[in-house]
Chains A and B, each alone.
Chain A
Amino acid sequence: MPTIVMASSKGGAGKTTAAVTLAGELARQGLEKGVNIALVDADPNKHSAKWAKKNGCPENLTLYESDESSIIDDIEKAEQENAFVIVDLEGTASIAVANAVSRADLVIILCQGSQNDADEAVKTIKLLRQQGKAFRRDIPYSVLFTRTSTAIVPRTLKFIVSQFTESGVDVFKVSLIEKDAYKAVHSFGGIVNNLDPKDVSGIEVTAANAKAYAEEVKRKLKEIMSGGSDG
């Protein structure tokens, strides 16, 4: 029962998009196999929760609304009742984030291709390393770049990726591309695959990106569960 936590102490880095996309894609893949997915929303803004309450939310996905004081208990409850737990958090350096990552099997650190995002990502990485030392459990993590372009890779992004990889930080091969379809699911509800092409363009490309992202998450989880770990 893996728990995957989306973390970034910078607002707007793409945590909700990453959480909703992963939850939706895992739910889509797991529907016919009886695999249940939990989405825990501990962000006071509750954007993930609003999405999950709209029509089209996968029937094997359960929402848990949470906050700083109950996040650990809510994650543990969700773990008992579901096969996968995905946690969305507020974009600040908060106790809620620290509590959530302490229960994670994988922390996905969201980062846009900017120095500010990278600096905040480093804050989260340092927290994970300190927790790892204090509680003798290395918490696997990986940096996922968001809002990237399919056409070009800016130099700043290339530089930041190289800085992370040279420092031994694991970075996703896939990035979440900037596509309107990712925003559209918050208007229409449901998952990217079920959007209507009359309403949104680029559905196929976005669905393929969502699938590739979920596949890489699953590979990382498989490696973690077999004894190797990223981060």
Chain B
Amino acid sequence: MAERAGLDLDDINEDEVDIASLTGPKNPKPKVDRKELNKVSEEAGFVSRQAPRQRRRGGRTAYTQQKNFKMRPDMPELFADVADGLGIKDYELLEMAIQALLAKQKMKDELERFKSITS
């Protein structure tokens, strides 16, 4: 028995869409609240993958000014040993020394300034 001729549809291409026809203005997408978006995303298991910012160690310090001065040989080590012995930092030792000197020398105005700086 002779075979029927098939329909030769294989080489018919669907109409191409002109790329320019897709570029017209369109309705803007509604803005979404970002916090709400994050919440929905996290509930769906989509979480932030960015590394958390490095936190600064310790709190903010009041000691922000730098002063360099010379010392006699071995004095830096003595200074450090005194601070360690008292269980305080170098800059705290300096302040204690200044306060003690101002009180001993009865330099009242300077002592007032010291108290207002360190309060």
- Seen from chain A, the residues whose Cβ lies within 8 Å of a Cβ on chain B are 1-2, 9, 26, 29-30, 33, 35, 67-69, 72, 83-84, 90, 92-99, 102-103, 105, 123, 126-127, 130-131, 134-137, 215, 218-219, 221-222, 225
Tell which of A131, A136, A225 touches B22, judged by Cβ atoms closer than 8 Å.
Answer: A225
Tell which of A68, A130, A222 touches B48, judged by Cβ atoms closer than 8 Å.
Answer: A68
Residues of B within 8 A of A68 (CB): 48-50
With CB as the reference atom, state the residue of chain A lying closest to B29.
A103
A35-B23, A222-B21 known; A98-B44 Cβ under 8 A: yes
Digit string of B69-97 for contact with A (CB within 8 Å is 1, else 0)? 00000000000000000000000000000
Residues of B within 8 A of A126 (CB): 44
Complex: A95 Cα to B35 Cα, angstroms: 11
With CB as the reference atom, state the residue of chain B lying closest to A222.
B17
A94-B47, A98-B44, A127-B41 known; A72-B16 Cβ under 8 A: no
With CB as the reference atom, state the residue of chain A lying closest to B41.
A98
Complex: A74 Cα to B66 Cα, angstroms: 43
Tell which of B20, B23, B32, B48 touches A1, judged by Cβ atoms closer than 8 Å.
Answer: B23
Q: What is the size, in residues, of chain B's interface with A at 8 Å between Cβ atoms?
A: 28
Whether B44 pairs with A218 at a CB distance below 8 angstroms is no
Whether A69 pairs with B20 at a CB distance below 8 angstroms is no
- Seen from chain B, the residues whose Cβ lies within 8 Å of a Cβ on chain A are 14, 16-17, 19-23, 25-26, 29-30, 32, 34, 36-38, 40-50
Residues of B within 8 A of A135 (CB): 30, 32, 36-37, 40
Complex: A2 Cα to B28 Cα, angstroms: 10
Whether A218 pairs with B17 at a CB distance below 8 angstroms is yes
Tell which of B23, B25, B40 touches A130, judged by Cβ atoms closer than 8 Å.
Answer: B40
Q: Whole-angstrom distance from the CB of B42 to the nearest CB of chain A?
A: 8
With CB as the reference atom, state the residue of chain A lying closest to B20.
A33
Complex: A193 Cα to B34 Cα, angstroms: 41
Whether B19 pairs with A30 at a CB distance below 8 angstroms is yes
With CB as the reference atom, state the residue of chain A lying closest to B36.
A134
Whether A98 pairs with B37 at a CB distance below 8 angstroms is yes
Complex: A90 Cα to B50 Cα, angstroms: 12
Residues of B within 8 A of A127 (CB): 41, 44-46
Residues of A within 8 A of B42 (CB): 95
Complex: A26 Cα to B22 Cα, angstroms: 11
With CB as the reference atom, state the residue of chain A lying closest to B28.
A79
Residues of B within 8 A of A219 (CB): 14, 17
Complex: A219 Cα to B21 Cα, angstroms: 11
Complex: A69 Cα to B20 Cα, angstroms: 32
Complex: A127 Cα to B46 Cα, angstroms: 8
Complex: A72 Cα to B48 Cα, angstroms: 14
Residues of B within 8 A of A93 (CB): 44-47
- Please give 6 more A-B residue pairs, beta carbons under 8 A apart, in addition to A94-B46, A130-B43: A30-B19, A93-B46, A93-B47, A127-B45, A135-B30, A215-B16
